[in-house]
Chain A
Amino acid sequence: MTNRSAAMPFRFVSCMELREVLGKRAMDEHRLLELIEEVPADSIYYHTHSYFLRHAYTQQLYSNDFATWVVLYAQDRVLGERLGVLDPFDFSDIEQLRDEILRIMADHLNHSTAVPRCVVSEPFEFIRSHIIEIPLGLETKTLSEFHDALADVEVGAVYNHVCEARMRKRLLSVDFARWLSSEEGLGLQELALNVECVGRLGLSLEGMRNKILRLCDQELARQRGLHQSGDRDA
Chain B
Amino acid sequence: MLEDYRDVAPQGTVELLRQLGRRVEGKTMVHVNSTRYGGGVAEMLHRLLPLFEELGVKVRWEVMSGSDLFYRVTKSFHNALQGTKQRITSEMYDAFIECNRDNAKRLNLDAEFAMIHDPQPAALIDARPHGATWTWRCHIDVSTPQHSVWQFLRPFVVRYDAAVFSLPKLSQRLPLPQFLVYPSIDPFIEKNRELGPDEIDRVLQRLGVPRDKPILLQVSRFDRFKDPVGVVAAYRQVKRSHDCRLVLAGGTATDDPEGAEVLAEVQEAVGTDPDVHILLLPPTANLEINALQRAATIVYQKSTREGFGLTVAEALWKGKPVIGGETGGITVQLIPGVTGFTVNSPEGAAFYTRRLLNEPDLMALLGRQGKEYARYRFLVTRHLQEYLGLHIFLRQRVRNG
Contacts and interface: CB of A to CB of B under 8 A. Distances in A.
Contacts of B369: 57-58
A57 B389 contact: no
17 contacts: A16-B386, A16-B389, A19-B181, A21-B168, A23-B171, A23-B173, A23-B178, A57-B372, A57-B373, A58-B335, A58-B338, A130-B393, A132-B389, A136-B15, A136-B19, A152-B12, A154-B10
4 closest pairs, A vs B, by CB? A154-B12, A125-B168, A19-B180, A21-B178
B339 to A, nearest CB: 7
Interface residues of B, number: 35
B136 to A, nearest CB: 14
A137 interface: yes
Contact of B392 (A14, A125, A132, A156): A132
Interface of B: 10-13, 15-16, 19-20, 165, 168-169, 171, 173-174, 177-181, 326, 331, 335, 338-339, 369, 372-373, 376-377, 385-386, 389-390, 392-393
A59 B385 CA distance: 23
Contacts of B389: 16, 18, 132
Contacts, number: 81
Nearest to B12: A154
A134 interface: yes
A118 to B, nearest CB: 13
Contacts of B13: 154
Given A21-B165, A21-B171, A58-B369, A153 B12 contact: yes
Contacts of A132: 20, 389, 392-393
A18 B335 contact: no
Nearest to A121: B169
A213 interface: no
Interface of A: 14, 16, 18-21, 23, 25, 54, 56-60, 120, 122-123, 125, 127, 130, 132, 134-137, 152-157
A149 to B, nearest CB: 11
B16 A58 contact: no
B179 A18 contact: yes
B9 to A, nearest CB: 10
A200 B390 CA distance: 31
Contacts of B386: 16, 18
A125 B357 CA distance: 36
A118 B352 CA distance: 25
A134 to B, nearest CB: 5
A74 B99 CA distance: 48
